[in-house]
Structure 1
Amino acid sequence: MAANGQFAIVTGASTGIGLELARCCGENGFDLLIAADEAEIENAAASLRSTGRQIEAVQADLATTHRVDRLYEATRGRPVDALLANAGRGLGHAFLDQDFPAIRHVIDTNITGELYLIHRVGNDMRQRNSGRILITGSIAGFTPGSFQAVYNGTKAFLNSFSYAVREELRGTNVTVTCLMPGVTETEFFKRAGMMDTSVGTTSKDDLADVARQGFRAMMSGDPDIVTGLKNKIQSAVANVTPAEALAKQHRQIAEPGTAKS
C-alpha cells in the first residue's frame, strides 16, 4: 500500500478524521498538502512531519471558491495522486431556530467548496488518467435528520454524488470512494452545539480506526466503506424503513435536552 513519492491533499485535516486520514497518507509514503479553516492546522502539520514526508499546511475556509483556488494553487502544479475531501461542518437544533448564515456556511462547506475542489482536481486526474478521490459522506445521509436537517441533507447529497461521479469515471484509472462513518469520537458534536443531545453524549467509534478503514478502501479503489458493524446494520435498516419513521427516531437522539444524565 506504500505510495512513496506520491502527493495527497487532505481537507478538514486539523483534527478528527481528517487529521487521521492525513496521518495514514503520510505513514504510507504520501507527501501532503493539508487544509482547515483554523490555526490548529499548523499544529497538525508539525505532528505529521514525524512521518518523514513533506508536509505543507494551508489555513483557509473552504466554503468559498476563492479559498479553494488558494488551496489548489498551493500545489504549485504538482500532480495530485489522492484527494481526500473531508472538510465538513455540523449544525444542531431545529432548522427554523438556526441562523441562516450558519445554515449557508454548512452547505457551502460541505457541498459547494467540496465539489469545486473535486471538480478542479478531478479534471486534472482525468486528463492524466490516474488518481484516487475519497469523499467523507456519512451514514447520516441515509436518515432524515430531524434537529440536524441541513447536515444530514448535505451528507445525503455527498453519498449520492460520490456514486454518480464514480460511474461517470468508469473506464478510467480515476477512482471515487465514499467513506461513511457513524458517530465518531471527534469535536464534531461540540462544534455543532449538540452536547445537550443523546447522540452528542453517547459512546462513539474510534476515529483512528475509522480513518484507517477509509484509507484502505480508497487505496483499494472500493466504491464505499461503512465503518463498524453497528453502522453497517443501521444503514441497512435505514434503507428499508419509511422516511417518516426514521425522522421520528432521529428526533429521539438529536433533539436538544435528550442527553442522558
Structure 2
Amino acid sequence: MTKKFAIITGASTGIGLELAKLAAQDGYDLLIAADEPGIEPAAETLRDYGVLVKAVEADLSTLEGVDTLLDAVGEGRVDLLCANAGRGLGHGFLDQSVADWRRVVDTNITGTLYLLQQVLRDMVGRDDGKVLITGSIAGFIPGSFQAVYNGTKAFVDSFADAIRNELKDSKGLTITTLMPGPVETEFFARADMLDTDVGASDSKSDPADVAHDGWKALMAGEANIVSGWKNKVQATLAHVTPAAILAEQHRQMAEPGSADPE
C-alpha cells in the first residue's frame, strides 16, 4: 500500500468508529475489525471519505481471531494501530458465568496484547509507527459490580505505561493511552447494565469527543490522555482516595437496580 495504513479494532460503533472516521479524514487507508456483522455497514460509511477500507469480522478475544485480522494486512505496512476492542460485564462476580468473564479478560487483555506484540515488532524494526491503546479511568477504581472489567482496564493502563518505557529507545514509535470515563455507546447494553445508575445516566461522554481527544493526543505523541474534565478530576481523586471508599462509590453507580426510576 502506498498510502498511510491504519488498523482500528472495535470499529463497528462507538469510539472505534469515530477513530476510524478521523483516520479516514487524515488520509489513512483502513483495516477495521469487530466481532459483529455491523463492521460491514461501518466500512461502507468510511468509504465515503475516499479511502480504501477493508472490514474483518473476527472474535478478537481469541488468538485465531487476531490472526484472521493480521492475515488481512498481508504484506502491507501498518503505520497506525488503534487497539480499541473491548468488552464489559456488569452484575456481581459470583453471578457471572465463567464463559462471560473469560471473554472479557480475553478480549480486553489476551487479544489486545497479542495484537500489540505482533504489530509492535514490525514498528520497532523500522523505528516508526503510532499506537493508541484504549484504556479507561475504570482502571483506577475498584469496580464493584463491574470487577472483572475494571480489573482488565487496570492491567491495560499499567501495561501501556510499561511497554512505553521498554520501547523508549525507538524514537520513531509513539504509544498513547486513551482513558475515557463512561461513554454513550452500546457498551452498557452489551454489559447488561442499563438498570444501573451509570448505565442510565444521560451525562456520559460523546464518543466523537472522546475519539477526538484520543486522536489529538496520538498525533502529538503524548503518553496518555484522560478524556473529559470531569474524568480528569475523578482520575486525580482516585489516586488519593482509599480503595474501600472508591469501591463503595462504584457500587452506587454500577449495582443492578441502582438507576433512578424517575
TM-score normalised to the size of structure 1? 0.98
- The aligned counterpart of 1:176 is 175
The one-letter code matched in structure 2 to 1:24 is L
Number of aligned positions between the proteins: 258
Report the Cα offset of residue 77 of structure 1: 1.3
The one-letter code matched in structure 2 to 1:23 is K
- The aligned counterpart of 1:82 is 80
Unmatched runs of 5 consecutive residues or more in structure 2: none
Report the Cα offset of residue 219 of structure 1: 1.1
- The aligned counterpart of 1:190 is 189
Report the Cα offset of residue 60 of structure 1: 0.2
Report the Cα offset of residue 169 of structure 1: 1.1
The one-letter code matched in structure 2 to 1:175 is T
Unmatched runs of 5 consecutive residues or more in structure 1: none
- The aligned counterpart of 1:249 is 249
- The aligned counterpart of 1:199 is 198
Report the Cα offset of residue 20 of structure 1: 0.4
Three-state SS of the structure 2 residue aligned to 1:71 is: helix
Three-state SS of the structure 2 residue aligned to 1:45 is: helix
Three-state SS of the structure 2 residue aligned to 1:146 is: coil
Within 2, Cα distance between the matches of 1:198 and 1:22?
30
Report the Cα offset of residue 142 of structure 1: 0.4
Within 1, Cα distance between the matches of 2:142 and 2:226?
18
Q: Is 2:8 the partner of 1:7?
A: no
- The aligned counterpart of 2:230 is 230
Q: Structure 1, residues 57-112: CA drift from partner, whole Å, max 9, x if none?
A: 00000011011111111011111000000000000000000011000000000000
The one-letter code matched in structure 2 to 1:177 is T
Report the Cα offset of residue 5 of structure 1: 1.7
TM-score normalised to the size of structure 2? 0.97
Q: After the TM superposition, which segments of 4 or more aligned residues of structure 1 sit over 6 Å from their partners?
A: none
Within 2, Cα distance between the matches of 1:226 and 1:232?
6
- The aligned counterpart of 2:165 is 167
Report the Cα offset of residue 244 of structure 1: 1.0
- The aligned counterpart of 1:26 is 24
Within 1, Cα distance between the matches of 2:242 and 2:75?
48
- The aligned counterpart of 2:15 is 17
Matches within 5 A, 1:48-63: 48-63=46-61
User: Paired residue for 1:35, among 33, 36, 46?
Assistant: 33
Report the Cα offset of residue 121 of structure 1: 0.3
- The aligned counterpart of 1:112 is 110
- The aligned counterpart of 1:208 is 208
The one-letter code matched in structure 2 to 1:88 is G
User: Paired residue for 2:128, among 108, 127, 130?
Assistant: 130
